[in-house]
Amino acid sequence: MKFNVGLYVELQNSILLHMSIQSRTKIAITAAIIVVAIASVATLYLYPTQTVLSEIPETEEDKLKNKALGIAQRFVVTTPTFEFDGDINTLDTLSIDTLESGSNQYLIKFSFNSTHEGYGNRENQNLTNEITPHTIEILVSGEKIISATTDEVWDELSNQSVTKNSKLQSSNTPVTAFDGKVNDYQSLIQAIQSRGLEVQFIEKINDSMFEVPINVITIAKIEIQIYEFDSVSDTKDAKSTVSTDGTQIGLNSIRWMDIPHFYSKGTIIVQYIGHNPEILNLLDSFLGEQFAGM
């Protein structure tokens, strides 16, 4: 039997063509399966099952607290100790607490490092390079800084050491609750005593710049002056004579020995010359923000 070379070659080519078609078909099917699998995975990640993001509304308390925090953050970098050599990269917020003594009052604590030891402006002091950690407590009432104390020893508002034994002295007399509102001399005394603080009447001075007697009292050994008027209208007229910084009353310019603070409620004006943070916090809680002073 004669072997037909041409037929053999044609048959071989046909087999190879058939195998090539089958291979390409298998590859195409495999590729299609992979594409479908990738698409399924992508769909799984791109379209999670019924995931809905909901925002928690910010409460009014949150807004007030964040506002107070912003005020404290802007203030802390201006304090004498931080401004001199504080490291902004180490400034950290430790806590923010709402005080029960009055609305919109927050005690905010920060920590930071200084590059030298000591407190305040130490420009003319011989200092050594020594990383010194600090903690500062700032009391914010409304939009006002009431006190700022670093390490409980340095008053950043007055740029001096904190007065020793600054905690207000308590009274030994029974405490009577006060549920009313402060609007005159007597109600203010009752309100202060309701905090368990020692209140003493010192004297009445008839000669004053407000043309009404001065009732001088001490709260835990710290002196304040109370002016009581005949009416709310008279009180408002007297308030209008006090300059914004409290250094002038009517035509009289005054150079106070310490920081002046003037408060008013109802028929009284309360004057406190000093910087004790507990006294300021106490007066704020009963009389609101000062209307004049520094």
Q: What is the pLDDT of residue 103?
A: 57
Q: Is 247 a member of any domain?
A: yes
Q: Is 168 a member of any domain?
A: no
Q: Is 96 a member of any domain?
A: yes
Whether residues 77 and 103 fall in one domain: yes
Whether residues 32 and 74 fall in one domain: no
Q: Is 178 a member of any domain?
A: no
- Tokens for 47? 């379209």
Q: Mutual orientation of helices 185-193 and 277-287 as an angle, nearest 10°?
A: 120
Q: Is 149 a member of any domain?
A: yes
How far, CA to CA in Å, does 84 sit from each of 79, 87, 103, 145?
Answer: 8, 10, 33, 20
Whether residues 202 and 284 fall in one domain: yes
Q: What is the pLDDT of residue 52?
A: 57
Whether residues 75 and 18 fall in one domain: no
What are the tens digits of pLDDT across the range 150-159? 998 888 887 8
Q: What is the pLDDT of residue 241?
A: 92
From 119, 146, 161, the end of a domain falls on 161
Whether residues 156 and 208 fall in one domain: no
Whether residues 71 and 122 fall in one domain: yes
Q: Which H/E stretch holds residue 94?
A: strand 92-98
Q: What is the pLDDT of residue 237?
A: 93
Whether residues 39 and 127 fall in one domain: no
Number of domains in the chain: 3
Q: In the chain, which stretches have pLDDT less than 50?
A: 1-3, 5, 7-9, 11, 15-17, 21, 25, 27-29, 31-33, 35-36, 38, 40-47, 49, 101-102, 164-166
Task: Give the alpha-carbon dihedral of 186, 191, 195, 198, to 10 degrees.
Answer: -20
Whether residues 199 and 252 fall in one domain: yes
What are the tens digits of pLDDT across the range 258-277? 788 999 999 999 999 888 88
DSSP 90: G
Task: Give the alpha-carbon dihedral of 249, 253, 255, 256, to 10 degrees.
Answer: -10
How far is residue 260 CA from its own chain's centroid? 24
Q: Is 274 a member of any domain?
A: yes
Q: Is 171 a member of any domain?
A: no
From 35, 54, 73, the end of a domain falls on 54
Whether residues 144 and 216 fall in one domain: no
Q: What is the reported pTM?
A: 0.46
Domain that holds residue 117: 60-161
Whether residues 214 and 283 fall in one domain: yes
From 32, 54, 76, the end of a domain falls on 54
Give the type of residue at 155. D
- Give the count of beta carbons closer than 10 Å to the beta carbon of residue 66: 12
Q: Is 227 a member of any domain?
A: yes
Whether residues 41 and 76 fall in one domain: no
Task: Decide if 105 contacts 138 (C-beta within 8 A).
Answer: no
Q: Helix or strand or coil: residue 99? A: coil
Task: Decide if 112 contacts 134 (C-beta within 8 A).
Answer: yes
Whether residues 26 and 112 fall in one domain: no
